[in-house]
Amino acid sequence: MLTKAAALAHSVIYHSNSKMDKLKEKPDELTLIGKGRSAYVFAFTDGDKQKALKVFFPEFQATALKEAKIYEKLSGSPYYPDIYETGDTFILMEYIKGYTFYNCLTKGISINDGMIQQVEDALSEARAAGLNPSDIHLRNLILTKSGAVRVIDVARFNQSKTCTQWDDLKGAYNTLYKKPVFPKKIPAFWLEAIAFLYKKNWFQKSFSERKKKYSS
């Protein structure tokens, strides 16, 4: 007999030939709260608790299993979501309320040294667990109401190649964002433009030179 989470996950149907809006059908009980490259995330209420159900696209079934194993290694850490159940196409996890760092920038919510240090501590914990934190970006760092920072989307934490995204973000924070004249509220289209240019390696040289000065 299927668990509630498994039944809900198997009831989510994706378009097989769409790259933009892949969702074709879902139970009314699920509310779409996030879209990623390999999965969509839905919120639903289970008893008196709200939970997040990450349902992977059929072609990313292997990613679901891989990410579940990574979360298992991070179990007990205050920086990563609690995992309640995993399956061949889904992960049922703690629903973390708050603003992503991306939201913070678009809404003008200040990012400070303490938040940056919490990310550093989270990544250090992952390394101590034998992982290689990778693909850290503004949308997988969440600031909660209590001021705690949580990290989500860890599927690439077991890749072998070096990823400099977090070091580059930290470099931009230290060399640009912390300057008094730098705007603390940034329009989304500017963030998207910066992300596009970053992926094209336009900013890497500049950040890699400056981050040496601020790396800890």
Q: Is 188 helix (H, G, I), strand (E, B) or coil?
A: helix
Angle at 199 between CA 141 and CA 102, to 5 degrees: 25
Q: What is the largest CA-CA distance in the chain?
A: 59
Residue 66 in marked binding region: yes
Q: Which of 135, 153, 167, 168 is catalytic?
A: 135
- Per-position DSSP letters for 70-105, written without gaps between them: HHHHTTT-TTS--EEEE-SSEEEEE---SEEHHHHH
Active site residue 82: no
Separation CA 61–CA 70 (nearest Å): 15
What's the residue count for the chain?
Answer: 216
Among residues 162, 105, 104, which one has the least CA distance to residue 134? 162
Q: Binding site for ATP: what residues are annotated? A: 66
Q: What are the catalytic residues?
A: 135
**Residues forming the annotated binding site?**
66
